[in-house]
Structure 1
Amino acid sequence: MAQSIRIILPKFNLNKPTYFKGYVNISEKKELVIYITEYSINYKDITNEESDKDNVITGYCNACPRHRGMDVVHKNTLVLETREGLCVKEMTLNGKNVDKRDNCIIMLYDHEKFKCTETISDSMDYFSELQYLLKDESNRLNICSFEPVLRTPYWLSSSMFIQHMLNYVNLVNWLISTVKRDKKVTIKQGNLILAILTDVALGYFILGLLTQEKKELSAMLMGILEKLVNLLYSLLKWLMGSPAGLKLNNAFNKMLGKYFSYHIQLWWLFLDVTGEKLDIILHVYHYLGYLGLTFQAAIISDMICVATFHSYCIYVYAARLFNIQISGLVALMRLFVGRKYNPLRGGIDSCEYTNQELFVGTVAFTILLLLLPTTTMYYIVFTLFRLLSLGMQYILAKLIYLVQTLPLYVVTLWLARSPRVAGDILLEVECYEESSPLLLRVKLFNKSLQEVVNNFKPPVEAPKHFEWTNLLSNVVVGKQII
Structure 2
Amino acid sequence: MVLKIFFPKCCNTADSGLLVGRWIPGQDSAVVLAVIHYPFIPGQVKKYLTQMRSQTKVDLTVLGSWSMPKDGQEGMDSFLKDLSTIFPHSRWLQLSRESGKRAFTCRVVQENGKPAAKKDGDDNNDDDDDKDKIIFVHYDQRKVMLSQLHPVQEQKGSEEESTELRTMFQTVAQSEPLFFHDMYDEGPLKLTHWQSEGREASIIVELVKQASVPVCIVLTWLLSVWHWLCSFRIFHVWPVQFISSKLSTCVQTGYRADHFQTVFSTRKATTHMEFMRKANIFVSFLVDIALGLLLISWLYRENRISQLANTLVPAADHVAKELQELLEWLMGAPAGLKMNRALDQVLGRFFLYHIHLWISYIRLMSPFIEMILWYVGLTACLGLTFALSVLSDIVALLTFHIYCFYVYGARLYYLKIYGLSSLWRLFRGKKWNVLRQRVDSCSYDLDQLFIGTLLFTILLFLLPTTALYYLVFTLLRLVVVMFQGLIHLSVDFINSFPLFAMGLRLCRPYRVAEGVKFQVLSEEPGTPLHLRMEINPLKFSSVLQCYRTPTYSCYPKDSWVALCKKLFIGELVYPWRQKSTKTD
CA contact (8 A) 1:314 1:382 kept: yes
How many residues get paired? 462
Structure 1 residue 293 displacement after superposition: 3.0
Distance verdict in 2 for CA 1:423–1:201, change over 3 Å: farther
User: For the residues of structure 2 that align with 1:427 and 1:382, how far apart are their CA atoms?
Assistant: 64
Partners of 1:250 and 1:40 in 2: CA distance: 99
Residue of 79, 101, 107 corresponding to 2:137: 107
Distance 2:400 2:175 in 1: 55
Distance in 2, matches of 1:459 and 1:72, equals 55
Alignment correspondent of 2:573: 481
Alpha carbons 2:21, 2:60 under 8 Å: kept: yes
1:79 partnered with 2:77? no
Larger Rg: 2
CA offsets 1:257-277 (integer angstroms, 9 cap, x no match):
111222222333334444556
Write out aligned runs for 1:424-443 (5 A): 424-430=515-521, 439-443=530-534
Find the aligned partners of 1:199 and 1:320 in 2 and give their Cα distance.
42
In structure 1, what residue type is equivalent to 2:432? Y
What is the identity, as a one-letter code, of the residue corresponding to 2:93?
L
Give 1:388's aligned residue.
Answer: 479
Q: What fraction of aligned residue pairs are identical, expressed as a percent? A: 27
Deviation at 1:403, TM superposition (A): 3.5
8 Å CA contact 1:191, 1:405 repeated in 2: no
Deviation of 1:13 after TM superposition, in Å, equals 2.2
Distance 1:319 1:330 in 2: 16
2:255 is matched with: 167
2:192 aligns with none
Q: Which structure ranks higher in relative contact order (CA pairs < 8 Å, sequence separation ≥ 6)?
A: 1
- Unaligned segments of structure 2, at least 5 residues: 67-75, 98-103, 118-129, 154-161, 178-222, 236-240, 575-584
- The residue correspondences of 1:36-185 to structure 2 (distance < 5 A) are 36-37=32-33, 40-41=36-37, 43=45, 46-48=49-51, 50=53, 56-62=59-65, 65=79, 79-83=92-96, 85=104, 87=106, 89-90=108-109, 102=132, 107-118=137-148, 120-121=150-151, 124-135=162-173, 155-177=243-265, 181=269
Q: Secondary structure at the match of 1:313?
A: helix
Normalised to the residue count of structure 1, the TM-score between the two structures is 0.79
Which region of structure 1 is more displaced relative to structure 2, 456-465 or 298-307?
456-465
- How far did 1:457 drift? 3.9
Question: What corresponds to 2:320 in structure 1?
Answer: 229
- Aligned amino acid, residue 564 of structure 2: L
Range with bigger deviation, 386-395 or 119-128: 119-128
CA distance in 2, matches of 1:138, 1:315: 63
Contact 1:319 1:478 in 2 (8 A): yes
Please, what TM-score do these two structures have when normalized by structure 2? Answer: 0.67
Q: Distance in 1 between matches of 2:548 and 2:311?
A: 37
Cα 1:305–1:433 change in 2 (3 A) is: same
1:238 aligns with 2:238: no
Over 3 Å counting, the alpha-carbon distance change for 1:414 and 1:52 in structure 2 is closer
| Matches of 2:85 and 2:254, distance apart in 1 | 58
Aligned to 2:217: none
Q: CA deviation at 1:342?
A: 1.1
Over 3 Å counting, the alpha-carbon distance change for 1:175 and 1:101 in structure 2 is farther
Give the deviation of 1:449 after TM superposition.
4.1
Distance 1:441 1:19 in 2: 19
Correspondence for 2:220: none
Distance 2:404 2:151 in 1: 51
Instruction: Quickly say closer, same or farther: Cα 1:237–1:430, change in 2 above 3 A.
Output: same
Letter in 2 for 1:10: P
Match of 1:370 among 458, 461, 471: 461
- Amino acid aligned to 1:477: I
C-alpha spacing 1:90/1:58, structure 2 compared with 1 (3 Å) = farther
Which consecutive residues of structure 1, in runs of 5 or more, have no partner in the other structure? 140-147
- Asked if 2 retains the 8 angstrom alpha-carbon contact of 1:21 and 1:46, the reply is no
1:361 to 452, 460, 472: 452
Give the one of 406, 415, 440 matched to 1:324: 415
Kindly provide the amino acid, as one letter, of the partner of residue 399 in structure 2.
Answer: T
- Note the 1:253-402 alignment, pairs <5 A: 253-275=344-366, 278-402=369-493
Q: Secondary structure at the match of 1:115?
A: helix
In the TM superposition, what are the counterparts of 1:17-32 in structure 2 within 5 Å? 17-22=17-22, 24-26=24-26, 31=27
Equivalence for 2:311: 220
SS of equivalent residue, structure 1 residue 390: helix
Distance across 1 between alignment mates of 2:556 and 2:483 = 13
- The 8 Å contact of residues 122 and 128 in structure 1, kept in 2 or not, is answered as no
Deviations 1:338-394 (A, max 9, x none): 111111111111112112211111111100000000110111111112211111111
Would you say the 8 A contact 1:339–1:348 is kept in 2? yes
> Bigger CA drift: 46-55 or 101-110?
46-55
Summarize the Cα distance change of 1:230–1:78 in structure 2 as closer, same or farther, 3 Å threshold: farther
